Amino acid sequence: MYEKPLKAFHAVAVEGGFTAASRALSIGQPTVSTHVHLLEETFGVELFHRRGRTIELTPVGRTLFTITQGLYRHEEEAIAYLRSARAQQAGELRLGAVGPYDVMELLQAFRLDHAGVRYSVTLGSETEVFKRLINFETDVGVTGFAPDDDRFHCVFYNRDPVLIIVNRSHPLAARDSITLAHLADQATVLRPPESTTRQAFERALRKADVSIRPVMEINSREAIREAIIRGIGIGAISRNEYAEHPDLRAFHIPAAEMYTYAHVVCLAERRNRPLIAGFIDLAERGAKAFDSAA
C-alpha cells in the first residue's frame, strides 16, 4: 500500500528535492509531492522542512531514510549487477579497511581471478569501516576486531605481532633483546586510543604492571615512525606496518603476547552476493594458521 509513497520519499531524500526526485522516478513533481504528503498525513508526521526551494530532513525523516536506504539500496545493487552482467562486465567491489596491508594482500590474490572487476579502497577507523558497511557505501571491510553484532558476517584472516621500535641512538637499541620491564618510564609516542595496536600494547603493559611515559599521540602510522626516527620517543608498531630504516631498531617480545588481528567483514544479509562471497571465501582459505607457541 505504501510502496510508491515510500519510494517517492526516498527519492526526494536522495536527490535533495522534489523536482530532482520526479526526474529520477520519471513521474510528475505533483505526484511526488502527493505521495510524500500522503505519508505525512496518514501518520501525522513531518518528513521534510521546506524552506523555499530547499528541503531538509526532519529527525523523523532522517530515521525513515536510514530504513529506506536498506530497502532501495538492495534494488539499486540488483539493477547494477544485472547491467554489468548484460555488458559481460564483472562489476565493482568497494572495500574499507583500517590499514592498507592485509586488504592489499587479499586484493592481490583476488584480482588473479577477477581481472575485470573495478576496485576502490577507503581507509578509516574501525567505526568508519562499520558505518560504511551499514550504509552500503562499501561491500567488504577489513577490521582489527570481530564485531559483536548479528548484522555482520565476519571471518578471521591474520594475526601480527606488535613490535617495539626505538631509535638507533636510544640506549635500548644496543641490547640483543628487551622485555616490557625495559620500557618502564620510557618516553613513548602513541596511536589514538581506538588504535588496535595501541590497545594490544597497553594490555600487555597492564599485565606486566609496567608504566611508560607518553609524550605524544599521533593518528598516523607514518608520523609515528617519523617521530621515532627523530628521537622523540619509542613506539609500538604492528609488524606488517613496520618499514626498515637505518635509524630504527625493532624488537619482538614474544612473552608479551602483543598482537593485532585482521578480520574480513560484510553485512550478513549480503554474504552471498557473488563478489562479496568470493572475497570472503578467499579470506577464509587464506587465513593464517598459528600454533600455540606463536
Cα–Cα distance between 110 and 107 in angstroms, integer? Answer: 5
High-pLDDT (> 70) share of the chain, %: 94
What is the domain-level CATH number for residue 81? 1.10.10.10
What is the domain-level CATH number for residue 167? 3.40.190.10
What value does the mean pLDDT take over residues 187-191?
Answer: 96
> What is this structure's pTM?
0.65
CB 263 within 8 Å of CB 154: yes
CB 23 within 8 Å of CB 17: no
What value does the mean pLDDT take over residues 198-203?
Answer: 94
Cα–Cα distance between 123 and 135 in angstroms, integer? Answer: 16
What pLDDT digit, counting tens, does each position of 78-131 carry?
A: 777 666 655 434 578 999 999 899 999 999 999 988 888 889 999 998 999 999
Q: Is 270 part of a structural domain of the chain?
A: yes
Cα–Cα distance between 2 and 74 in angstroms, integer? Answer: 18
What value does the mean pLDDT take over residues 217-227?
Answer: 91
Q: Quick count: other Cβ atoms within 10 Å of Cβ 76?
A: 12
Cell of 28: 510528475
CB 107 within 8 Å of CB 95: yes
Cell of 244: 626498515
Cell of 254: 614474544
Assess whether 235 and 165 both reside in one domain. Answer: yes
* Of residues 115 and 216, more confidently modeled: 216
Assess whether 44 and 121 both reside in one domain. Answer: no
Q: For position 293, what pLDDT does the model report?
A: 35
Q: For position 292, what pLDDT does the model report?
A: 36
Assess whether 255 and 164 both reside in one domain. Answer: yes
Nearest to 170 by CA among 183, 158, 157: 183
pLDDT at 289 over 70: no
What pLDDT digit, counting tens, does each position of 60-71 carry?
A: 999 888 888 877
Cα–Cα distance between 113 and 144 in angstroms, integer? Answer: 26
What pLDDT digit, counting tens, does each position of 27-68 carry?
A: 999 999 999 999 889 888 889 988 777 889 998 999 888 888
Question: Which residues face 46 on adjacent strands?
Answer: none
Cα–Cα distance between 95 and 78 in angstroms, integer? Answer: 18
Q: For position 89, what pLDDT does the model report?
A: 46
What pLDDT digit, counting tens, does each position of 226-275 carry?
A: 999 999 999 999 998 898 999 999 999 999 999 999 999 999 999 988 88
Q: Is 279 part of a structural domain of the chain?
A: yes
CB 261 within 8 Å of CB 145: yes
Assess whether 114 and 235 both reside in one domain. Answer: no
Mean pLDDT of the chain: 89
User: Among the three residues 24, 53, 86, which one is the final residue of a domain in this structure?
Assistant: 86
Cα–Cα distance between 62 and 65 in angstroms, integer? Answer: 5
Which residue range is the domain that position 105 belongs to?
Answer: 92-157+261-286
DSSP string, 138-180: -SEEEESS----TTEEEEEEEEEEEEEEEETTSGGGGSS---G
What value does the mean pLDDT take over residues 176-204?
Answer: 94
* Structural domains counted in the chain: 3
